[in-house]
């Protein structure tokens, strides 16, 4: 049963912005770290960014520049993860996934633990045309 649901993807032109969302509808992962990955056609899945359970620690991959911003909106009624992507480029074309894991630490620990998590959304497609 899917518990993480991504949305916000679409087909856009280069230079546009998108805000991806990942909803934890059952509040299962309120106390988990959550993160974003993407997988482009023919490429391996790539870690982008993560945020710890409290929102106090944010992690970005070295490959991510300031066009990407991760955030989290969490309270007693909701737990939603966001990824704002500005100035989209054709090379950003990929399926974007969110994941959750009970982890904390530095970016290497968090990204590795998230990548091995069994808790993933189904993905949202982002297609950027030039």
User: Residue 2 above 80 pLDDT?
Assistant: no
- pLDDT (tens digit per residue) in 92-123: 999 999 999 999 999 999 999 999 999 999 99
User: Residue 23 above 70 pLDDT?
Assistant: yes
3-state secondary structure (DSSP) of residue 104: coil
Q: Are 16 and 106 in contact (CB under 8 A)?
A: no
- pLDDT (tens digit per residue) in 29-88: 999 999 999 999 999 999 999 999 999 999 999 988 899 999 999 888 899 999 999 999
**Residue 56 CB partners (closer than 8 Å, separation 6+):** none
Rg (C-alpha) for the chain, rounded Å, is 14
Q: Which residues pair with 49 in a beta bridge?
A: 36, 60
Q: Are 98 and 2 in contact (CB under 8 A)?
A: no
């Amino acid at each position: 049963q899917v518990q993480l649901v991504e949305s916000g993807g679409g087909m856009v032109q280069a230079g546009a912005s998108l805000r991806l969302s990942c909803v934890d509808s059952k509040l299962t992962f309120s106390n988990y770290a959550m993160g974003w990955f993407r997988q482009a056609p023919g490429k391996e899945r790539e870690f982008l960014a993560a945020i710890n359970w409290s929102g106090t620690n944010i992690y970005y991959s070295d490959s991510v520049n300031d066009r990407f911003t991760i955030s989290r909106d969490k309270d007693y009624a909701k737990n939603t993860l966001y990824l704002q992507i500005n100035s989209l480029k054709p090379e950003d074309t990929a399926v974007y996934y969110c994941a959750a894991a009970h982890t904390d630490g530095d970016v290497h620990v968090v990204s590795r633990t998230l990548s091995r998590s069994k808790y993933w959304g189904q993905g949202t497609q982002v297609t950027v045309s030039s």
